[in-house]
Structure 1
Amino acid sequence: MIALHPLLEDIARRYPPGVARAEAADNDAAQLVQLMRHLRPARGEPTEQREGRIRLLIDVLRSRPQLAAGLREYLSSLLAARNHFFVYAESGILGNTGFFTELRQRIGNRLLPPALDPRFLRDLIEEVFEHSDDAEWLASTPRELWAELLHTIGFSTETPTAGQIQIRKEMCESLRVLTVRLAALGLEPDLVRYYPALSEYESPFLAQQREFETVIVSMQGALLGESDEWPDSAHADVLLQQCCDALVRIRKLSHEAGAAVRLSWHLTRAFQIIERMREMLALLMPSPREERVQIAFDFFFYLVKAECRRHSVRELVTSVTDLLSLQVTEHASKTGEHYVTRDRSEFYAMFRAAAGAGIIVGFMALIKMLIAMLHLPPLWEALGFSLNYGLGFVLVHLLGFTIATKQPAMTAATLAAALDPRKHGTSRVEEMSELIVQVCRSQFIAIAGNVLLAFLTSLGIAYAWVQIFGVPAASVEKARSMLHDLHPLFSMALPHAAIAGVCLFLSGLVTGYYDNKAIYNRVPDRLRRVRWLRRLLGEVRLERLAVYVEHNLGALAGNFIFGFMLGCMGTLGFLLGLPLDIRHVTFGAANLAYGLQALDFQVFWTEALVCAVGVILIGMTNLAVSFSLAMNVALKSRRVRFSDTKGLLRLLLRRFVRRPRDFFWPPKEAKVKEVQALEE
């Protein structure tokens, strides 16, 4: 523990009251760093001990006024000697460099922290509050205790110190710079594109700059004592609110026209600038002392938090990508609505779509075996596997079929959209439970169609292969290897199934991203302008192509990239020396059929049963991993907490006990109302 009395005596000796700063001030923050280390709590320290040290400092300063005066002069000299601009105008506000430039800078600063510059207040805050959690314990300490400490030091007197005067002057200049930056942001092409009225009529972004200039000039005169009249900032507040309304409207319009990192960057930065301008205006304008003190503490704690996280990569990504992730999951949720069956006609249609996909997977599994028999170099083998998967999944989509394991990444976004309080006001637990029941039976019938038809198709192909070529499609060694890879205990089947689940989740994000990109970049409209396509296809066919791309670009890209994820995973594991591979439930069912037929079903029934159980567990792992990851991202993007689903699990359990059949088979149309009445 740092000795408190000698530290305060040293400060008082170096900064005696009444001595000109040119004689005593050396802008050295070493004593302040030592004082903060004395006050900073240890990890896990009780609150009473932390507050006790602050009370001890207050008692010492009260008992020896010369120490309080010396500390006041020291802090005042530090504030007066530093440049405050970067703290007020930039701390906690995204820069104008762009996302990727800022990301590179932060990564570089994390690896090699920048040198401290004694000219700037920002570097003083970083030097004094050297721990990343300093802002948390500062904010958790009672404000009354901090206010009492400042009063004891002498910062609450009517006569402002040199440091306090410097704060006011710097705030006024920083406020002037922020008004100019906000005006420039209002003219950004990305914002004007969504809201053309910003350039067609009197823009509030430009009007606020002119109004604030008048307010700032009058306010500087009042702060310096040149005038007794304070300006009226009511109109400035109205213009700031109009700017906020325009930004909110642009956010809403971006839901329909797509979003990009650059747009999210500009919107986030504009909201941050407006909030900072409101805070500084509240601090500069006259108001009740208690209210101004609370605002000042909140402002200071936020600045400390921003400086502690100035080089945080995670903070940057979280603050910028909220709109983009919402857009990606928003488009994924619209896709997921197609995977929810509500009645028996949709239920049967889902089975037919899944069955069609199972037939194609049977042929894809055969092609993969044939590629493996060629014993190509690793790179070419990975390319062959990837093209087989990718083109096969694209064909599944083009024919209107469905792969069951791709549904969770989409339906999770649909479930999160149903829970979004911003869209529905409150969480609709009853409707949510019905949607979950529909998703469960949709997923059940889709897996049943995939697995059943993949097994039967592969079995038929295997027997046809024997009749045509006289030998099984798979050798005995290959057949035993395929069966071993399905064993849930003696192989890596389940970990590899989890890897496939991660790939399924990523493919869902890719689908939403490209759907958003198609709208934001207006890909269909740009396709219509390609002259050689118009000459080749004609107006009618080109229009059909543009409409198809608008609604299916994300699905096509997601399926193709998902195929490459699966095809390259084994080769990536080989190159890295890691046990990386994938297991997919539909391909597992196909491999089970090829393996059993190649062995002429000469296996113990227990072995066949264990392999069948392995296929089921692979499917459950695929679904659990992809759904949980997708649900987590979807809920975070909509700022929905799991606590918002309170009562949902209880309602689902009651529904399962009373009508378990609804989770696997849709009720008749006449019984839908009975089910709803039962829930009520």
Structure 2
Amino acid sequence: MAVSFTKKKKVTTIDVLTDYFDNNKRWEVTIDPLEILVKIVASIRPKNLKKTNEIDLTDLLLFLKKNKSITNQFSSYLKGLLFEKKISRILSDAAILQDVDFLFEVKKRIYAKVLPYQHETDTLEFVLNQVFYADYDPIWLSKIPINQIEELYELVGFTSLYESAEQNSVLSELMMSMSLIAQRMSGRALESDVLKMVPEYFHFESPFAAFEKELLLIQDKIKTKDNKHFTTSESLYYKQLFILHKQCEEYVEKAFQNSSKFGITLRVNQSLLRIRQQLYRLKILIPLLVVDVETDKKKNSIRLAYKLIKYNCTRNNLRTFVKESTQLLSYEITQHTAKTGEKYITQSRSEYFKMFNTALGGGLIVGILCVIKVLLSKVETSDFGHAFLYSMNYSFGFIAIYVLGFTLATKQPAMTASALVKVLEDEIKENGNSNQKHQGFAVFFARVFRSQFIAFVGNVIMAFPISLLGIWLIDLAFHYNIAETKWNTLVTDLSPVHSMAIFHAAIAGCFLFLSGIISGSVANRDKHYQIYQRIKEHPFLKRSFGKEKAEKFAHWYEKKWAGIISNFWLGIFMGSTASIGVFFGLNLDIRHITFASGNLALGLYGSNYTLDNWMLFWGIFGIGIIGLVNFMVSFGLSLGLAFRSRAIPLSEFKPISASIWRHFKSKPFSFFFPIGTIEVHHEGGDKLP
């Protein structure tokens, strides 16, 4: 027997209206009154938003015009459903930060995405959560022509929000939400941590307090007007309110600008971000109190409805929250790394060879660390014990490299990427969209690349002989070849073909990027909490060691501490990865170009120089690949963060890459050696080679 399947016809809005309102008052006995509105919205909501340019309600409007009985019942249904529904919390809370704790806000939004909070049934939030529950609902609603919305508004017989200012009326709820936002802003702006960011306002009256008073004056006048519950754009009170609003915005912007001077914490950043969001919300709501011509009543009422739906749908938007919350902090962090990165970018020949010498010093310490790590692997302890020992080996070694002024090549990309973007930002400001900005960036990139190149060379060529010397001395003194049983693993792990060296090198690149983030965040935090000044003026230190020594220690702390913490955590990350991988049953480890060079030397000696040619080839080739992946991952992540922190569009990558390629074709050796100079200037007016 043949079975035929027919495509189910989509239920239209007219079908829903006919089903529920064709028989007089049938809808009143519906189990759930919201069911009708849910079905109506579902019948209009497009399945494919990208393919929908416009949503046409012509058929619905014609149907309502021809069927007055259904229209009247539908009107009664909607008015009954929305009667005295509270809207103040949507306007004052939805899509605005409610807590300055970043992680708590993230967790709360994720949880609300999975299991949305359901409000009291007498609130509009309850209705909207049931009807407009999709994030993209505000987008498709905006695709309905406004003239059709206005016609539907009149057909259904809605009244404007200015009909009454009594308690529980729409206008009363609107003004209540505005007052609540103003009070919250004023209180938050007067907190000590926020006031600290704007010392310029310390001896003046808070613009937020003045704004709150002016808003109350306007609201009192609107409430007392007979049958005219609105103001006009020509009102002096209204104009004064916007002047004060502008002053509040300037206050917040000044606080954000001062972050480079005073530093900023995530908590203060969240407080300022919340005030900024509240100011923007008021900027949207205040014009709803204004009616200049009669048609404004209808337009403002519809505009308020749009905003209510949008705010409720976007209240748990996680992507926007994270983006707004981290942009300023990432800027301050990359500002620090940009300043630190400048010392890693050579210009003259003397700087070039000085970088080579410091890289040799870094390679010397890493060569020693390679030998120590093999010795630590002989210690009989747990995986946690090995993680601790390896981490301390790496950490103290990296700190020694940093304190002694040596260079670890792969630490550079996280710093130099920020310096590169800083130059690009300056070039954009100076030259606009001309090709010259990309030319300057390409020249600067050549400087960065050759600095990286010579640092890699210095690290690798020193780590190899030092590791070889170390294992030979131990064998000479104790007649014990420490790599005799591990040489095969040490060499095989370098091969990009016979091991997961590329993946492990990428993990190391991520850790190198994170170490740069840690350095910038620690420096930013210390600046905000004035740690330098606290140490300098500490009464115990001045009394015990003298004012001059206390100041020297404070200066040393300001200059070195962020780097020490950064290198300490880099060591923890790199030393514990393998043990964490063992714990979870995953093939996790790190590969670093300088350590790879030392491990090749240890493997060579451990095998008594019996490595076959292919094994040696893949080992040497693997060192180059590991270094390249270390650089690409660390540099790429840092460059992306720096671009984002300065709001530079990713579309800049294409012309930048083309400019770098053109410069490479014209002067390829400048990417490896300090050959020649050209007259290109960047910040400070220095010439770039």
TM-score normalised by length of structure 2: 0.89
Is 1:207 matched with 2:210?
Answer: yes
Q: What secondary structure, in the 3-state scheme, does the structure 2 residue paired with 1:639 have?
A: coil
- Cα distance change on mapping 1:354 and 1:364 into 2, 3 Å: same
Q: What secondary structure, in the 3-state scheme, does the structure 2 residue paired with 1:341 have?
A: coil
- Cα distance change on mapping 1:45 and 1:449 into 2, 3 Å: closer
8 Å CA contact 1:11, 1:70 repeated in 2: no
Match of 1:397 in 2: 402
Distance 2:118 2:231 in 1: 43
Match of 2:496 in 1: 488
**Residue pairs, 1:80-91, within 5 angstroms:** 80-91=83-94
Distance 1:422 1:35 in 2: 54
8 Å CA contact 1:92, 1:303 repeated in 2: no
Distance 1:566 1:489 in 2: 22
Distance 1:506 1:658 in 2: 35
Match of 1:672 in 2: 678
Match of 1:369 in 2: 374
Distance 1:253 1:158 in 2: 42
Cα drift, residue 293 of structure 1: 7.0
Stretches of structure 2 that go unaligned for 5 or more consecutive residues are 1-9, 683-687
Is 1:497 matched with 2:508?
Answer: no
TM-score normalised by length of structure 1: 0.90
Code of the residue aligned with 2:136 in structure 1: it is D
Which of 196, 218, 221 aligns to 1:218? It is: 221
Cα drift, residue 597 of structure 1: 2.2
Which of 352, 355, 359 aligns to 1:347? It is: 352
Is 1:569 matched with 2:577?
Answer: yes
Which of 42, 45, 51 aligns to 2:55? It is: 51
Is the deviation greater in 466-475 or in 609-618? 466-475
Which of 458, 471, 479 aligns to 1:462? It is: 471
Count of residues in correspondence between the two structures: 668
- Cα distance change on mapping 1:161 and 1:58 into 2, 3 Å: farther
Q: What secondary structure, in the 3-state scheme, does the structure 2 residue paired with 1:7 have?
A: helix
Cα drift, residue 547 of structure 1: 1.0
- Cα distance change on mapping 1:98 and 1:297 into 2, 3 Å: farther
Distance 1:580 1:288 in 2: 69
Code of the residue aligned with 1:462 in structure 2: it is I
Distance 1:603 1:302 in 2: 72
**Residue pairs, 1:584-595, within 5 angstroms:** 584-595=592-603
Code of the residue aligned with 2:661 in structure 1: it is L
8 Å CA contact 1:116, 1:123 repeated in 2: yes
Match of 1:93 in 2: 96
8 Å CA contact 1:279, 1:299 repeated in 2: no
Code of the residue aligned with 1:437 in structure 2: it is A
Is 1:432 matched with 2:441?
Answer: yes
Distance 2:384 2:411 in 1: 26
8 Å CA contact 1:78, 1:163 repeated in 2: no
Cα drift, residue 302 of structure 1: 4.8
Q: What secondary structure, in the 3-state scheme, does the structure 1 residue paired with 2:218 have?
A: helix
Match of 1:308 in 2: 313
Code of the residue aligned with 2:74 in structure 1: it is L
Cα drift, residue 434 of structure 1: 1.9
RMSD, aligned α-carbons:
3.2
Which of 358, 380, 393 aligns to 2:385? It is: 380
- Cα distance change on mapping 1:190 and 1:448 into 2, 3 Å: same
Cα drift, residue 603 of structure 1: 2.0
- Cα distance change on mapping 1:160 and 1:582 into 2, 3 Å: same
- Cα distance change on mapping 1:65 and 1:634 into 2, 3 Å: farther
8 Å CA contact 1:172, 1:220 repeated in 2: no
Match of 1:509 in 2: 517
- Cα distance change on mapping 1:70 and 1:347 into 2, 3 Å: farther
- Cα distance change on mapping 1:674 and 1:558 into 2, 3 Å: closer
Deviations 1:512-540 (A, max 9, x none): 11111111111112223444444554332
Match of 2:249 in 1: 244
Match of 2:487 in 1: 479
Q: What secondary structure, in the 3-state scheme, does the structure 1 residue paired with 2:286 have?
A: helix
- Cα distance change on mapping 1:105 and 1:648 into 2, 3 Å: closer
Match of 1:132 in 2: 135
8 Å CA contact 2:262, 2:528 repeated in 1: yes
Which of 108, 120, 130 aligns to 2:123? It is: 120
Distance 2:71 2:572 in 1: 69
Is the deviation greater in 202-211 or in 65-74? 65-74
Code of the residue aligned with 1:606 in structure 2: it is W
Match of 2:6 in 1: none
Which of 558, 564, 586 aligns to 1:550? It is: 558
- Cα distance change on mapping 1:508 and 1:157 into 2, 3 Å: closer
**Residue pairs, 1:97-112, within 5 angstroms:** 98-112=101-115
8 Å CA contact 2:440, 2:680 repeated in 1: no
Deviations 1:372-418 (A, max 9, x none): 01232211111110000001000000001111111111122222333
Is 1:176 matched with 2:179?
Answer: yes
Distance 1:436 1:334 in 2: 16
Q: What secondary structure, in the 3-state scheme, does the structure 2 residue paired with 1:194 have?
A: coil
Code of the residue aligned with 1:322 in structure 2: it is Q
Code of the residue aligned with 1:446 in structure 2: it is A
Distance 1:341 1:290 in 2: 66
- Cα distance change on mapping 1:437 and 1:223 into 2, 3 Å: farther
Deviations 1:458-481 (A, max 9, x none): 223233334333343421x21111
Flag the structure with higher helix content: 1
Code of the residue aligned with 1:117 in structure 2: it is E
Which of 603, 609, 623 aligns to 1:615? It is: 623
Code of the residue aligned with 1:660 in structure 2: it is P
Distance 2:261 2:66 in 1: 66
8 Å CA contact 1:218, 1:231 repeated in 2: no
- Cα distance change on mapping 1:85 and 1:422 into 2, 3 Å: farther
Distance 2:248 2:330 in 1: 24
Cα drift, residue 9 of structure 1: 4.3
Q: What secondary structure, in the 3-state scheme, does the structure 2 residue paired with 1:132 have?
A: coil
Deviations 1:284-336 (A, max 9, x none): 11145778877766665454343223334444333322222222222222222
8 Å CA contact 2:222, 2:231 repeated in 1: no
Q: What secondary structure, in the 3-state scheme, does the structure 2 residue paired with 1:375 have?
A: coil
Code of the residue aligned with 1:404 in structure 2: it is A
Match of 1:19 in 2: none
Instruction: Provide the identity percentage.
Output: 29
Is 1:331 matched with 2:340?
Answer: no
Match of 2:587 in 1: 579
**Residue pairs, 1:6-25, within 5 angstroms:** 6-9=15-18, 12=21
Which of 409, 413, 421 aligns to 1:408? It is: 413
- Cα distance change on mapping 1:421 and 1:642 into 2, 3 Å: farther
Q: What secondary structure, in the 3-state scheme, does the structure 1 residue paired with 2:611 have?
A: coil
Code of the residue aligned with 1:467 in structure 2: it is L
Distance 2:576 2:199 in 1: 46
Match of 1:192 in 2: 195
Distance 1:448 1:294 in 2: 69
Stretches of structure 1 that go unaligned for 5 or more consecutive residues are 17-22
Distance 2:226 2:596 in 1: 76
Distance 1:67 1:162 in 2: 31
Cα drift, residue 223 of structure 1: 7.4
Code of the residue aligned with 2:120 in structure 1: it is D
Is the deviation greater in 140-149 or in 495-504? 140-149
Is the deviation greater in 358-367 or in 194-203? 194-203
Deviations 1:450-507 (A, max 9, x none): 11111122223233334333343421x2111101111111111111111111111111
Code of the residue aligned with 2:526 in structure 1: it is A
Distance 1:366 1:345 in 2: 32
